[in-house]
Amino acid sequence: MERILSGYRPTGMIHLGNYFGSLVNWIKLQSEYDCYFEVADYHALTTYYQHTDELPDYKLEMARDWLAAGLSPDKATIFIQSLVPEHAELHVLLSMLVPVPWLERNPTVKEMIRDMNLQGNVTYGLLGYPVLQAADILIYKAKCVPVGQDQLPHIELAREIAKRFNHLYGETFPVPEPILSQHPKVPGIDGRKMSKSLQNAIFIRDTYEDIEKKVYQAFTDPKKIRLGDPGHPEGCVVFAYHNLVNKDEIAQIETDCRSGKLGCVECKKRCAHAIYEFFTPVREKLQNFTLEKTKEILVEGSRKARKVAQATLEEVKERMHLK
Ligand code: SF4
């Protein structure tokens, strides 16, 4: 089977954007590819280096969400990035051959800097984030990387780095290909991309009350003010959520919104209910994955991942005449 690498920064719990943007795809891919999924804690430091006290909890809780949602250690290698320190060493080696302009023009990093108001406070680590991501992929010689549209520039950079390394030191790395997620970006309640840092996210572990509160604040068609007004579901955040979790009713909701028969208050109530119900099985399965069990799975996955990473790093050092 061809190998895949993907991961998430442990900066909080899993939200709808993570779930539909990546996790659903990972769960499908784990039966079709040799999958490596990382809890990317080094990456978390690129923007959360001042708040590391929450990192241990987030690492375990995020992995619990993955497991409860359906990722299986019997099918995929699930590991913690910092338990495989070879990622950091390959990052240093690759950083020697990456021109700074390649990093400065990366639109994904630019977007992150803008969304998180980091202008004037960009660290060396944040600028080099895509090089670390390339190291993550290349250390497992992954051929494919499942990503959302917004991550494509990172993969393009990983491809350029792989090609440059192969050109300089001899054929070592496969040039990775992206596998695009079928789901478009999931909007946050304010209509921007759903993100923990933008505080516009609905989490799969949210209580019904939390979900209801968030959905009631969600952006809808501004021209639909009262029951009876015809609505335009395209561009309505609530409709986008219905489309993810309420497939059986989506056609009727669209018809009733357009005709004015359905009001936004009722529509939001049904949406909150549908979101909560959709994730009930995941919340129930969380009980099967205690913190202790989750930790065991991550340690075992990291041990397995490390063997592969060590072999690649040895080869890289030989190619670079460091051995
Ligand atoms: S009725 Fe529903 S889909 Fe239509 S605008 Fe209101 S919230 Fe959006």
Task: Clarify whether residues 160 and 221 are in a common domain.
Answer: no
- pLDDT bracket for residue 156 (50, 70, 90): very high
What is the span of the domain harbouring residue 272? 208-278
Task: Clarify whether residues 8 and 153 are in a common domain.
Answer: yes
Angle at 176 between CA 170 and CA 177, to 5 degrees: 145
Do 182 and 147 contact (CB within 8 A), yes or no? no
Q: 262: Cβ below 6 Å to ligand 1?
A: yes
Region 173-200: mean pLDDT is: 89
Structure confidence at residue 148 (pLDDT): 78
Q: 272: Cβ below 6 Å to ligand 1?
A: no
**β-pair partners for 6:** 37
CA of 224 to the centre of ligand 1 (A): 8
CA 26 to chain CA centroid, Å, is 10
Q: Is the pTM of this model over 0.85?
A: yes
- pLDDT bracket for residue 78 (50, 70, 90): very high
| Tens-digit pLDDT profile for residues 87-129 | 999 999 999 999 999 988 888 777 777 777 777 778 899 889 9
Q: 215: Cβ below 6 Å to ligand 1?
A: no
Check residue 20 and report its DSSP letter.
I
Task: Clarify whether residues 139 and 113 are in a common domain.
Answer: yes
Region 146-152: mean pLDDT is: 82
Q: In testing the pocket of ligand 1, which one of 217, 224, 258, 268 has its CB within 8 Å of the most ligand atoms?
A: 224
Question: What CATH number does residue 21 fall under?
Answer: 3.40.50.620
Task: Clarify whether residues 39 and 182 are in a common domain.
Answer: yes
What atom of ligand 1 comes closest to residue 224's alpha carbon? 5
Give 125's contacts (C-beta < 8 A, 6+ positions apart): 45, 46, 49, 132
- pLDDT bracket for residue 319 (50, 70, 90): very high
Q: 239: Cβ below 6 Å to ligand 1?
A: yes
Do 179 and 55 contact (CB within 8 A), yes or no? no
Q: 220: Cβ below 6 Å to ligand 1?
A: yes
How far apart CA 138 and CA 106 sit, in angstroms, is: 19
Count Cβ atoms within 10 A of the Cβ of residue 265 and give its class: 0-12 exposed, 13-18 middle, 19 or more buried.
exposed
- Containing 254, the helix (H) or strand (E) segment is helix 250-259
Structure confidence at residue 185 (pLDDT): 81
Overall size of the chain counted in residues = 323
The tally of domains found in the chain comes to 2
- Count of CB atoms situated within 10 Å of the CB of 306: 18
How far apart CA 235 and CA 229 sit, in angstroms, is: 16
| Residue of 292 and 127 predicted with greater confidence | 292
| Tens-digit pLDDT profile for residues 34-44 | 999 999 999 99
Task: Clarify whether residues 219 and 246 are in a common domain.
Answer: yes
pLDDT averaged over every residue in the chain: 94
